[in-house]
Amino acid sequence: MKHTKDLTKDDLIDLIELDNFEKVIKEKGRTSYFSSRRSRISYWNSELRKIRKKLPENVSIEDLPTLEEMINVQKKLAALESYDYSTNDKLYQSDPERRHLNRLKKLKEFLLTGQKIKLDYADTSSLILINNKYIASLSSRKWRVKGSNKWYLYSTPKQLVDKYILRKKYETH
Protein backbone atom coordinates (compact mmCIF):
# COMPACT_ATOMS: atom_id res chain seq x y z
CA MET A 1 0.00 0.00 0.00
CA LYS A 2 1.36 3.39 -0.96
CA HIS A 3 1.76 5.76 2.00
CA THR A 4 0.79 9.37 1.55
CA LYS A 5 1.85 12.48 3.43
CA ASP A 6 1.42 12.03 7.19
CA LEU A 7 -1.21 14.05 8.98
CA THR A 8 0.26 16.12 11.78
CA LYS A 9 -1.37 17.27 14.98
CA ASP A 10 -1.56 20.82 13.59
CA ASP A 11 -3.42 19.54 10.53
CA LEU A 12 -6.06 18.00 12.79
CA ILE A 13 -6.35 21.09 14.98
CA ASP A 14 -7.20 23.17 11.93
CA LEU A 15 -9.88 20.71 10.84
CA ILE A 16 -12.98 21.77 12.70
CA GLU A 17 -15.64 21.14 10.10
CA LEU A 18 -16.47 17.42 9.91
CA ASP A 19 -17.04 17.27 6.15
CA ASN A 20 -13.76 19.04 5.44
CA PHE A 21 -11.99 16.59 7.76
CA GLU A 22 -13.35 13.55 5.95
CA LYS A 23 -12.34 15.07 2.62
CA VAL A 24 -8.74 15.60 3.80
CA ILE A 25 -8.54 12.03 5.12
CA LYS A 26 -9.63 10.71 1.74
CA GLU A 27 -7.04 12.87 -0.05
CA LYS A 28 -4.06 12.16 2.22
CA GLY A 29 -4.77 8.51 2.98
CA ARG A 30 -5.84 6.69 6.09
CA THR A 31 -2.75 4.61 6.88
CA SER A 32 -0.88 7.53 8.41
CA TYR A 33 -4.03 8.66 10.16
CA PHE A 34 -4.62 5.38 11.98
CA SER A 35 -1.02 5.11 13.18
CA SER A 36 -1.42 7.72 15.91
CA ARG A 37 -5.20 7.88 16.17
CA ARG A 38 -5.43 6.60 19.74
CA SER A 39 -3.03 9.22 21.09
CA ARG A 40 -4.99 12.01 19.40
CA ILE A 41 -8.31 10.71 20.71
CA SER A 42 -6.98 10.41 24.26
CA TYR A 43 -5.52 13.93 24.02
CA TRP A 44 -8.86 15.46 22.99
CA ASN A 45 -10.72 13.41 25.61
CA SER A 46 -8.41 14.75 28.32
CA GLU A 47 -8.91 18.31 27.02
CA LEU A 48 -12.66 17.80 27.13
CA ARG A 49 -12.49 16.54 30.74
CA LYS A 50 -10.41 19.59 31.78
CA ILE A 51 -12.93 21.98 30.26
CA ARG A 52 -15.86 20.03 31.76
CA LYS A 53 -14.36 20.51 35.25
CA LYS A 54 -14.54 24.30 34.71
CA LEU A 55 -18.28 24.07 34.03
CA PRO A 56 -20.34 24.26 37.27
CA GLU A 57 -23.29 22.00 37.98
CA ASN A 58 -25.74 24.90 37.70
CA VAL A 59 -24.94 26.68 34.45
CA SER A 60 -26.08 30.08 33.28
CA ILE A 61 -25.49 32.44 30.38
CA GLU A 62 -22.14 33.49 31.95
CA ASP A 63 -20.82 29.95 31.31
CA LEU A 64 -21.37 30.26 27.56
CA PRO A 65 -17.65 30.78 26.67
CA THR A 66 -16.73 27.56 28.50
CA LEU A 67 -19.49 25.72 26.67
CA GLU A 68 -18.29 27.13 23.34
CA GLU A 69 -14.81 25.82 24.14
CA MET A 70 -16.30 22.39 24.89
CA ILE A 71 -18.18 22.42 21.58
CA ASN A 72 -15.00 23.21 19.64
CA VAL A 73 -13.07 20.38 21.29
CA GLN A 74 -16.00 18.00 20.79
CA LYS A 75 -16.09 18.90 17.07
CA LYS A 76 -12.47 17.82 16.75
CA LEU A 77 -13.09 14.63 18.69
CA ALA A 78 -16.18 13.85 16.61
CA ALA A 79 -14.15 14.37 13.45
CA LEU A 80 -11.54 11.87 14.65
CA GLU A 81 -14.07 9.31 15.78
CA SER A 82 -16.59 9.64 12.97
CA TYR A 83 -14.13 8.52 10.35
CA ASP A 84 -13.32 5.44 12.41
CA TYR A 85 -16.95 4.49 12.84
CA SER A 86 -17.46 4.52 9.09
CA THR A 87 -20.84 6.16 9.42
CA ASN A 88 -21.35 5.88 5.68
CA ASP A 89 -21.94 2.15 6.12
CA LYS A 90 -25.67 1.45 6.24
CA LEU A 91 -25.20 -1.42 8.69
CA TYR A 92 -23.35 0.67 11.27
CA GLN A 93 -25.24 3.79 12.32
CA SER A 94 -23.76 4.58 15.74
CA ASP A 95 -21.65 7.70 16.21
CA PRO A 96 -21.48 8.59 19.93
CA GLU A 97 -19.15 11.56 19.55
CA ARG A 98 -21.42 13.30 17.07
CA ARG A 99 -24.42 12.61 19.31
CA HIS A 100 -22.57 14.24 22.23
CA LEU A 101 -21.75 17.21 20.00
CA ASN A 102 -25.45 17.60 19.20
CA ARG A 103 -26.29 17.48 22.92
CA LEU A 104 -23.79 20.27 23.62
CA LYS A 105 -25.26 22.41 20.84
CA LYS A 106 -28.76 21.93 22.24
CA LEU A 107 -27.49 22.82 25.73
CA LYS A 108 -26.13 26.05 24.25
CA GLU A 109 -29.58 26.81 22.82
CA PHE A 110 -31.12 26.25 26.26
CA LEU A 111 -28.53 28.56 27.85
CA LEU A 112 -29.38 31.31 25.38
CA THR A 113 -32.97 31.31 26.67
CA GLY A 114 -31.68 32.69 29.99
CA GLN A 115 -33.17 30.06 32.29
CA LYS A 116 -31.50 28.44 35.31
CA ILE A 117 -30.17 25.04 34.18
CA LYS A 118 -28.75 22.15 36.18
CA LEU A 119 -26.59 19.66 34.26
CA ASP A 120 -26.53 15.86 34.45
CA TYR A 121 -29.91 15.49 36.09
CA ALA A 122 -30.44 11.90 37.35
CA ASP A 123 -26.76 11.16 36.56
CA THR A 124 -27.24 11.16 32.81
CA SER A 125 -25.53 13.48 30.35
CA SER A 126 -28.64 13.89 28.25
CA LEU A 127 -31.08 15.25 30.88
CA ILE A 128 -31.12 18.78 32.29
CA LEU A 129 -33.27 20.39 34.98
CA ILE A 130 -34.71 23.80 34.06
CA ASN A 131 -35.73 26.19 36.87
CA ASN A 132 -35.76 23.25 39.35
CA LYS A 133 -39.09 22.10 37.89
CA TYR A 134 -38.84 20.96 34.26
CA ILE A 135 -36.76 18.07 32.95
CA ALA A 136 -35.66 18.23 29.32
CA SER A 137 -33.77 15.72 27.24
CA LEU A 138 -30.87 16.95 25.11
CA SER A 139 -30.71 13.84 22.95
CA SER A 140 -34.40 13.69 22.03
CA ARG A 141 -36.96 16.46 21.83
CA LYS A 142 -38.86 15.52 24.98
CA TRP A 143 -39.61 17.25 28.28
CA ARG A 144 -41.66 16.64 31.41
CA VAL A 145 -42.51 18.21 34.75
CA LYS A 146 -40.42 16.95 37.67
CA GLY A 147 -42.41 14.32 39.53
CA SER A 148 -44.55 13.43 36.54
CA ASN A 149 -44.03 10.46 34.25
CA LYS A 150 -45.73 11.91 31.17
CA TRP A 151 -43.25 13.07 28.51
CA TYR A 152 -44.16 15.76 25.97
CA LEU A 153 -42.50 16.80 22.71
CA TYR A 154 -40.98 20.20 21.94
CA SER A 155 -39.70 21.57 18.64
CA THR A 156 -36.94 23.95 19.79
CA PRO A 157 -35.55 24.91 23.21
CA LYS A 158 -36.83 28.47 22.71
CA GLN A 159 -40.34 27.18 21.97
CA LEU A 160 -40.26 24.98 25.09
CA VAL A 161 -39.22 27.86 27.33
CA ASP A 162 -41.58 30.41 25.81
CA LYS A 163 -44.68 28.26 25.47
CA TYR A 164 -44.53 25.93 28.47
CA ILE A 165 -42.15 27.38 31.06
CA LEU A 166 -42.79 31.13 30.70
CA ARG A 167 -46.34 30.55 29.36
CA LYS A 168 -46.12 33.28 26.73
CA LYS A 169 -49.16 33.52 24.50
CA TYR A 170 -48.62 33.38 20.78
CA GLU A 171 -50.95 35.38 18.59
CA THR A 172 -52.36 33.52 15.64
CA HIS A 173 -53.36 35.38 12.50
* 68-112 residue pLDDT tens: 999 999 988 887 776 655 555 666 667 788 888 999 999 999 999
pLDDT one-digit tens code per residue, 15-68: 444 445 556 566 655 555 555 677 778 888 888 899 988 888 899 889 999 999
The predicted pLDDT at position 130 comes to 94
The predicted pLDDT at position 172 comes to 52
Residues in contact with 86: Cβ distance below 8 Å, sequence separation at least 6, in sequence order: 92
The predicted pLDDT at position 105 comes to 93
pLDDT level of residue 136 (50, 70, 90 thresholds): very high
Model confidence, pTM: 0.73
The predicted pLDDT at position 15 comes to 47
The predicted pLDDT at position 120 comes to 81
Rg value, the chain, Cα: 19
The predicted pLDDT at position 43 comes to 84
Residues in the chain: 173
Q: How many alpha carbons fall within 13 Å on the CB side of residue 69?
A: 13
